Chain A
Amino acid sequence: MIKLQGIWFSYGNENTGDELRNINLTIPEGQVVLICGESGCGKTTLTRLINGLIPNYYEGKLQGSVLIEDTNISEKPLYDIAPLVGSVFQNPRSQFFSMDTTSELAFGCENIGLSEDLITERMERVVSDFQISYLMGRSIFALSGGEKQKIACASSAMMEPKIFVLDEPSSNLDIKSIGDLAKVIALWKEQKKTIIITEHRLSYLMALADRVIYMKNGEIAEDLRIEEFKNIPQKEIYNMGLRSIAPITFQHHNDKILEKEMLELSNFHFSYEKIPTLEINHLKIPKRSIVGIIGNNGAGKTTFARCLCGLEKKSAGELQIGRKIFSGKQRLNQCYMVMQNPSHQLFTEEVMDEVLLSMEDDTEENRELVNKVLHDLNLQGLKNRHPMSFSGGQQQRVAIASAIVSGRSMMVFDEPTSGLDFRHMKEVARNLQKLGAMGNTLFIITHDPELIAECCNYFIFMEQGKVLWSGGWSDLNMQRIINFFEATQYMELIHR
């Protein structure tokens, strides 16, 4: 039993205001609770109270008490909370401590001083429960995001806590890995664990959650049983700022007639340690289209994008537009890539300078243009702030602004909506459509069916480094897309 009583919390830094207001919540043992709400609604903060990171790691002003089995855990050090509450976080890259999977699984148990024999025994059980024997003894750095997340789940299971707290665990995962994650949660549910999970992607949890808590502005706005939540009409869900809870329906974008003029790609090949990861001999893409690049992780989507941008020096491929042929090196000046983590591509201390960096020189004229672009992207008010202090979405918009002023006609987006709520996803989609309307060709690597439904009008489907099919919104392709997002659907996996 978890009891939060009269919780008020603020981090107490410059973003003033209370992060959590008057939270009273009781979670009985064995319940699966989904906490949802727009970004900044306080759901992550709430999870930090339960796993003790607040007030032990993130400091701030805390009122009220957090009780687990009648002990106030806010007064306990983190290492005492660790065996009670297992945590899984959003970013698979930053939550492992060891270099190899076996030590990682043992890490928590070693910390609390369990005997070696007991650890080995537990490990055998967890490995078979999670079906991860193929991942054991491997370097974690070489694993995919989905595999890392599985290891993260398994590692927290090693401590055998009664409570699991998952903070947006699916944000960086592909469809298949989300299915695996759903299986893990189903397993824990079977074992009668209490599970608290915050998410933007809701559909995979509909068959698992018992209860849904909707938060707004740091308060609990709704506290519903899952049946009640599922009965909320889709339109209402969108109004609440939440992602779809039902499978996405796609509509024909007949209004978007594709260009006749083509971009022709030939001989895009790339090998990593002698294993071919990209083999595209020939591919045609209509100019000025918004191309969704889909496929599971490891299909070569990012490699393709990097080759397209000319970032892989060893790739020989050529791109032909009209009569002009661009080699990899020349493409560096033709393509602009908005990375999954845009903080990698921001260098200066002010937004204005950042965008100007993409231009030849700093003239009045250019500054005016930048101002206009910033205005269009809703960045006007942030002009003088440090880009690194922004949220991911804001950083992405800064990157888009510098893409626009750099005058390049091809832009690549690497998972632009991972971990975004409905409103922010819509905003990204709108910006992408705007960019498309300006005459750019956009390539969007994405696992987000809602984004695809919103703005893509051409597709490349990749598997094992090859393009399995490509084309626009034909009936056949639509069916293929529906199948892709459904065949790997989590629901069926759970009701097996």
Chain B
Amino acid sequence: MIEWQVLSSASKNLRVNLDPRTKLFLLITICILVIGGQINGIMLIIRPALAAISLILLFTAGKRKISNICIGVYVFFFICENFILPVMTGTLGFILLFFSGFITRLLPGMVMGYYTVETTSVSEFIAAMKKIHLTKKIVIPLAVMFRFFPTVIEEYHAIGDAMRMRGIRFGGKNIFKILEYRFIPMMICSIKIGEELSAAALTRGLGAPVHRTNICRIGFHFIDIFLIFLCIALFILSILSKIGVF
């Protein structure tokens, strides 16, 4: 086995290595069941269960600080929604209800999305996209997009620095000027880099009409299968509850 692969996995010993396809399936499950789910019957269990899965995954990914914050926020609003609000009335209760409604429903999806982005290398993601037979016409732009995102951000910061250094500030000047100074050079610089990038990629055979191979090995493990079955079970339960079996 090649040395570097051992090295890179040793540093993340607690990490549960999920297949990117599992992560995406979980993400979609969470989006559908948590955002749209009812607040009664079996859904009272399914929603927090899915939230817990996303939060636990984030925790095991080694993102302690951010996962602790998310867990805290979620637990707080979950308790509000389920235990405090039913006995509370008045404006404060109403505001809390408003926030808890949104946060308990949106946070799990965001956490799962963040977890997916943080723990999936782009090559793994691309390999997964290929495995689910997504066309090259989407996979290639998507790969470029991920690759290019940090570059655009870098350009944005470099331009921000230059503005500070040159003392360009906008005391009362119009919003159009801010956008023009901030975004136009960013776009021009990014596009120039992008042209070089695409030339370089083409000299290395991108777009050849052959079956593209991929050295990135992904595959399902026990934990993947477990989570996928769990998701399917939760889907079935929620449908049963909707048609009134429970």
In the complex they form, whether A and B have CB atoms below 8 Å apart is answered with yes
Is B69 an interface residue when CB atoms closer than 8 A count as contact? no
Report the separation of the CA atoms of residues A156 and B166 in the bound assembly, to the nearest whole angstrom. 40
Contact between chains at A98 and B123 (CB < 8 Å): yes
Q: Which residue of B lies closest to A107 (CB)?
A: B204
Report the separation of the CA atoms of residues A366 and B184 in the bound assembly, to the nearest whole angstrom. 26
Contact between chains at A78 and B203 (CB < 8 Å): yes
Contact between chains at B159 and A344 (CB < 8 Å): yes
Contact between chains at A116 and B213 (CB < 8 Å): yes
Contacts of A358 in B (CB 8 A): 166-167
Contact between chains at A332 and B200 (CB < 8 Å): no
Contact between chains at A156 and B159 (CB < 8 Å): no
CB < 8 Å neighbour of A82 from B164, B168, B208: B208
Contact between chains at B146 and A111 (CB < 8 Å): no
Known A51-B203, A91-B196, A94-B197; contact A357-B165, beta-carbon cutoff 8 A:
no
Contact between chains at B193 and A93 (CB < 8 Å): yes
Known A78-B203, A344-B159, A388-B188; contact A95-B147, beta-carbon cutoff 8 A:
no
Contact between chains at B197 and A112 (CB < 8 Å): no
A118-139 at interface with B (beta carbon < 8 Å): 119-120, 123-124, 127, 133, 136-137
Q: Mark B137-158, 1 if CB is under 8 A from A, else 0.
A: 0000001101100110001001
The number of chain A residues with a CB under 8 A from chain B is: 70
User: Separation in Å of the A185 CB from the closest CB of chain B?
Assistant: 18
Report the separation of the CA atoms of residues A366 and B151 in the bound assembly, to the nearest whole angstrom. 37
CB < 8 Å neighbour of A402 from B166, B180, B209: B166
User: Separation in Å of the B88 CB from the closest CB of chain A?
Assistant: 43
Contact between chains at A155 and B204 (CB < 8 Å): yes
Report the separation of the CA atoms of residues A421 and B215 in the bound assembly, to the nearest whole angstrom. 42
CB < 8 Å neighbour of B166 from A85, A114, A345: A345
Report the separation of the CA atoms of residues A461 and B165 in the bound assembly, to the nearest whole angstrom. 25
B72-112 at interface with A (beta carbon < 8 Å): none
Known A137-B7, A343-B185; contact A99-B167, beta-carbon cutoff 8 A:
no
Report the separation of the CA atoms of residues A309 and B162 in the bound assembly, to the nearest whole angstrom. 11
CB < 8 Å neighbour of B146 from A99, A116, A127: A99
The total of Cβ contacts below 8 Å across the A-B interface reads 178
Is B8 an interface residue when CB atoms closer than 8 A count as contact? yes
Is B118 an interface residue when CB atoms closer than 8 A count as contact? no
User: Separation in Å of the B15 CB from the closest CB of chain A?
Assistant: 15
Is B226 an interface residue when CB atoms closer than 8 A count as contact? no
Contacts of B216 in A (CB 8 A): 103
Q: Mark B1-28, 1 if CB is under 8 A from A, else 0.
A: 0111101100000000000000000000
Report the separation of the CA atoms of residues A52 and B208 in the bound assembly, to the nearest whole angstrom. 14
Contacts of B192 in A (CB 8 A): 343
Stretch of A215-223, A225-233, A257-265, A333-341 contacting B (4+ beta carbons < 8 Å):
A333-341
Contact between chains at A137 and B5 (CB < 8 Å): yes
Q: Which residue of A lies closest to B181 (CB)?
A: A347
Main secondary structure of the interface of B (DSSP, over half): helix
Is A469 an interface residue when CB atoms closer than 8 A count as contact? no
Known A53-B199, A87-B200, A137-B4; contact A113-B165, beta-carbon cutoff 8 A:
no
CB < 8 Å neighbour of B123 from A91, A93, A99, A136: A99
Q: Which residue of B lies closest to A108 (CB)?
A: B204
Q: Which residue of B lies closest to A88 (CB)?
A: B200
Q: Which residue of A lies closest to B196 (CB)?
A: A94
Contact between chains at B150 and A141 (CB < 8 Å): yes
Is B201 an interface residue when CB atoms closer than 8 A count as contact? yes
Is A83 an interface residue when CB atoms closer than 8 A count as contact? yes
User: Separation in Å of the A481 CB from the closest CB of chain B?
Assistant: 29
Contact between chains at A345 and B197 (CB < 8 Å): no
Known A103-B216, A339-B162; contact A97-B200, beta-carbon cutoff 8 A:
yes
Contact between chains at A103 and B121 (CB < 8 Å): yes
Report the separation of the CA atoms of residues A306 and B161 in the bound assembly, to the nearest whole angstrom. 9
Contacts of A402 in B (CB 8 A): 166
Is A7 an interface residue when CB atoms closer than 8 A count as contact? no
Is B41 an interface residue when CB atoms closer than 8 A count as contact? no
Contact between chains at B215 and A103 (CB < 8 Å): yes
Is B172 an interface residue when CB atoms closer than 8 A count as contact? no
Report the separation of the CA atoms of residues A197 and B123 in the bound assembly, to the nearest whole angstrom. 31
Known A332-B164, A335-B165; contact A114-B185, beta-carbon cutoff 8 A:
no
Contact between chains at A97 and B213 (CB < 8 Å): no
Known A98-B122, A103-B123, A116-B215; contact A344-B185, beta-carbon cutoff 8 A:
yes
Contacts of B121 in A (CB 8 A): 99-100, 103
Contacts of B189 in A (CB 8 A): 341, 343-344
Contacts of A429 in B (CB 8 A): none
Contact between chains at A95 and B168 (CB < 8 Å): no
Q: Mark A341-363, 1 if CB is under 8 A from B, else 0.
A: 10111110000000001100000
A-B contact sample (5 more), CB < 8 A, given A402-B166, A406-B167: A83-B205, A86-B203, A113-B208, A156-B204, A406-B166
Interface residues of B (CB under 8 A from A): 2-5, 7-8, 121-123, 143-144, 146-147, 150-151, 155, 158-159, 161-168, 180-181, 184-185, 188-189, 192-194, 196-216
Interface residues of A (CB under 8 A from B): 51-53, 56-58, 78-83, 85-87, 89, 91, 93-100, 102-103, 106-116, 119-120, 123-124, 127, 133, 136-137, 141, 155-156, 159, 306, 309, 311, 332-333, 335-337, 339, 341, 343-347, 357-358, 388, 402, 406
- Give 28 A-B contacts (CB < 8 Å), ordered by A residue: A53-B202, A56-B202, A82-B208, A85-B203, A87-B204, A91-B193, A96-B147, A97-B201, A99-B122, A99-B147, A102-B123, A102-B215, A103-B123, A109-B213, A110-B214, A111-B206, A113-B211, A113-B213, A116-B214, A136-B3, A137-B7, A141-B150, A336-B165, A339-B158, A344-B159, A345-B162, A345-B166, A347-B168
